[in-house]
Structure 1
Amino acid sequence: MFRRINDWLHLWLGLASGLIVFILGITGCIYCFQKEITSLTQPYQFVKTEDKPYITPSALKKIAEQQQFGDKAGKPGSVINGIQYPGRGKAAIASYRDKKTGFMMIYMNPYSGEILKVKELEKDFFRIILAGHFNLWLPRQVGQQIICWATGIFVILLISGLIMWWPKNLRKANVDKSFKVKWKASFKRVNYDLHNVLGFYVLIGALIIAITGLYFGWKWVPKSIYRIASGGKTMPERRGQVFSDTTNIPPQTALYSSEDRVWANLNQEYKGRGSLSITFPQKQSDAITTTYNPGEGTFYKSHTRYFDQYTTKEIKGKTLFSKKYEESSGADKLVRMNYDIHIGAIGGFAGKCIAFLISLIAGSFPVTGFIIWWGKRKKGKVRAKPKRAAKLMVVERLEEANVIM
């Protein structure tokens, strides 16, 4: 009875969520190598290294605003939100959000201020792929919930699939059927093995990817992970806002740029290594926000800091990323690594290859599973026909007997 219920759940939950799981798997394995592919296809991300200092954030901001807004530069709705310096040999990026086109990125030469590319992020191929993976190309409030429920169902399918896979006994024939793909068999058998055997091999990896994916949609998932990992503590906010002291405004504020001063100090502290971004205050109460990332291709070591926009005094933040990775607790580190675990980047290029294969196989499960179900459905109909024919023959013979009598 337990197996029947388990098999029934596996079938109908799989049919209900199959299409969405397929989309998640395919978009996920495409996005795995986003960084490597864009490095080859988007040369404007890179510049020739020169033996001179970078242009300051305020100067790059002014150049970008003139480029994008002309006479409206600096007015409400026509300002650059932030400047990012991704590292040596890479273009600086000025960014802002446009009401019509969405998030905009302006790639600039950090040595000369030359505009290399103006990019409408919503039209970027990988941004479109990410929108499908994250929201199913629907409004976020709707699409994200559909994705989360489909992912939650996928977790149940993995567990019920393991129960179906488990050999009834350990005879060699059953063991071979559970661990080996019989490539020389019929198409139906190979398809069954691809669903059954590969499902076992990617089970742990698929569970990790699914659970780390739920992190982004259901708030209770990261909070639960943190509570278990920390021994019952409450997780700090993932994002936070810090305010400047608006009562302490120096009279010489207009004579210098606070952002440039903060940037120069941090650049000296970090010795010009890694990626450093500056977010400009948009309101009088906003603080200057900076994010430093010493890693290449990962985000878990990112360190976000806040500074008063008037005095440039550092203001302590209270989010997960408000302290150095090395100073974080074990639970903090685990949650910070979530995104890099999800895409496999935590294991470098090899980790991305593993995540790619797991996502590809996970995306194939709805296809191979549907073929198995459809084959059994047709087989059931074929078996039903002879039984019906036999019944008709019996009826005909009885009628003949009555006529004779």
Structure 2
Amino acid sequence: MSKKRKNPSKLRQLNNWLHLWLGLISGIVVFIVSITGCFYAFQQEIKDSLEPWRFVEVQNKPYVAPSQLLDTAAVYMPNAKPTGLTYANVDGAAAVGFGGMENGKRTFSVVFMNPYTGEFLKKQQPIGSGQFDFFRFIIDGHRALWLPYEVGRPIVGVSTLVFLLLLITGLVMWWPKNWKKSNRDKSFKIKWKAKFKRLNYDLHNVLGFYALLFALILGITGLVWSFQWFDKAVYFIASGGDIKEMGHHHPHSNLENKTLAWNDSLSPLDKAWYKTLEIDEQVKGMYMTPILEDEDDPIEITVYHQEGSWYDHNEYFYDRYTLEPLEQEGSKFSEASFADQLFMMNYDIHIGSVFGLAGKVFAFLISFICASLPVTGFLVWWHKKKKTSKKNSIYKGS
């Protein structure tokens, strides 16, 4: 006599119910966010291959000073205020960015120049001015589902939270009832030669398990930008109880020196740039803000130490009136606390660049699996629904 099949517990039934309906509700959002994440992981590589003006021939001489680049850029962007200046690696073009407004929308233009000569290379059309920009389209979908940001970002944030819950409830559903070989095979192996229904189930069940930990990491690093409370909570845990100060923090210039005359032939920004080159010997890229807004703002120069990633950097601050070096706790990656280092790495972890090109490929694959889960999950539910409907129709007709 065969044993009766034991019904799942109430908790297991609740878990399965949550996994089903939360998945159906958030599936489209999870798919869009994940598939756009696949494209965005390689945005730098794709841009580099399609935009040759981003590169220059390496020359055996120093870069020109920031003021020369700013003067050249101003010729092509008259009456516009430069918002950022970037030096890339040895074969990369320098770039000056200009933020602006057009028809009530924020725009951003970039002038590319040869950092060895200051020669103009390319003026990139304003992003956000109505002309199609593929990666602007991708990031708008990833962050806000192509809706207004004040509407789309909360939807993405909540759906990402739901996705984390789906990963946990999915793990509970995946967990084998016992660890016999047949159950282990179902949980860890995809039966590639099976019929579509079984193959689809394995793709959802098995791939979901293998991607779970990394999908959690992608979700958590994304949520850091979605909700301040989540950002603060992660920092609180990582730091062992410290409260994170929100926003950008920096030391301040001494306003008592405001009336001092500047007698050097070099501009304060150029002088600070030369000082930074003397201090930091691992420069792989630099970024600075050319125009300071407030009277007590310091000159701030960020030096990047690794090509293709952003986390390993030092920030140098100088009094804008005297160029006295100023210190800011946590401004240098190697000297920062674990929690601050973790948050400096957040973007690179999210797109996989923390491990170079191999990390980006891996992040692409995990994002692709995450995009597939709502599709395969929906098909699992659809097949079960059809099977149940068929049984009910047979029962009613008997």
Q: Which moved more, 1:356-365 or 1:136-145?
A: 136-145
Distance 1:164 1:199 in 2: 11
C-alpha displacement of 1:238: 5.2
1:237-386 matches, within 5 Å, as 237=246, 239-248=248-257, 249-252=259-262, 256-271=266-281, 273-285=283-295, 286-318=297-329, 320=330, 322=331, 324-386=332-394
Letter in 2 for 1:350: A
Match of 2:115 in 1: 110
Q: Is the CA contact 1:281–1:287 (under 8 Å) kept in the aligned structure 2? A: no
Cα offsets for 1:357-381 (capped at 9, x unmatched)? 1110010001001111111122222
Q: Which secondary structure state, in structure 2, belongs to the residue aligned with residue 132 of structure 1?
A: helix
Q: Which moved more, 1:142-151 or 1:263-272?
A: 263-272
Letter in 2 for 1:267: L
Q: Is the CA contact 2:186–2:202 (under 8 Å) kept in the aligned structure 1? A: yes
Q: Which secondary structure state, in structure 2, belongs to the residue aligned with residue 222 of structure 1?
A: helix
Q: Is the CA contact 1:303–1:325 (under 8 Å) kept in the aligned structure 2? A: yes
Q: Is the CA contact 1:253–1:310 (under 8 Å) kept in the aligned structure 2? A: no
Distance 1:330 1:260 in 2: 33
Letter in 2 for 1:188: K
Change (3 A) 1:30 1:215: same
Q: What TM-score results when the alignment is normalised by the length of structure 1?
A: 0.89
C-alpha displacement of 1:143: 1.5
Q: Which secondary structure state, in structure 2, belongs to the residue aligned with residue 298 of structure 1?
A: coil
C-alpha displacement of 1:62: 1.5
1:2-401 matches, within 5 Å, as 2-69=11-78, 72=79, 78-100=80-102, 102-119=107-124, 120-122=126-128, 123-237=132-246, 239-248=248-257, 249-252=259-262, 256-271=266-281, 273-285=283-295, 286-318=297-329, 320=330, 322=331, 324-390=332-398
Cα offsets for 1:100-130 (capped at 9, x unmatched)? 1512211111122222122233443223212
Letter in 2 for 1:173: S
Cα offsets for 1:257-310 (capped at 9, x unmatched)? 100100111122224731112212343513222111111111111222222222
C-alpha displacement of 1:170: 2.1
Distance 2:92 2:42 in 1: 19
Change (3 A) 1:171 1:116: same
Q: Is the CA contact 1:57–1:278 (under 8 Å) kept in the aligned structure 2? A: no
Change (3 A) 1:284 1:197: closer
Extract unaligned runs of 5+ from structure 1: 73-77, 391-405
C-alpha displacement of 1:193: 0.5
Cα offsets for 1:77-122 (capped at 9, x unmatched)? x221232111211110001201115122111111222221222334
Q: Is the CA contact 1:281–1:309 (under 8 Å) kept in the aligned structure 2? A: no
Distance 2:377 2:240 in 1: 40
Letter in 1 for 2:127: L
Q: What TM-score results when the alignment is normalised by the length of structure 2?
A: 0.90
Change (3 A) 1:305 1:137: farther
Distance 1:284 1:383 in 2: 73
Distance 2:181 2:266 in 1: 78
Q: Is the CA contact 2:88–2:285 (under 8 Å) kept in the aligned structure 1? A: yes
Letter in 1 for 2:108: F
Letter in 2 for 1:357: L
Extract unaligned runs of 5+ from structure 2: 1-9
Identity of aligned residues (%): 44
Distance 2:393 2:62 in 1: 83
Q: Is the CA contact 2:82–2:291 (under 8 Å) kept in the aligned structure 1? A: no
Distance 1:131 1:303 in 2: 30
Distance 2:161 2:192 in 1: 32
Distance 2:278 2:293 in 1: 27
Letter in 1 for 2:269: E
Q: Give the alignment's Cα RMSD to 1 decimal.
A: 1.9
Q: Which secondary structure state, in structure 2, belongs to the residue aligned with residue 386 of structure 1?
A: helix
C-alpha displacement of 1:254: 8.8
Q: For this pair of structures, how many residues does the alignment match?
A: 380
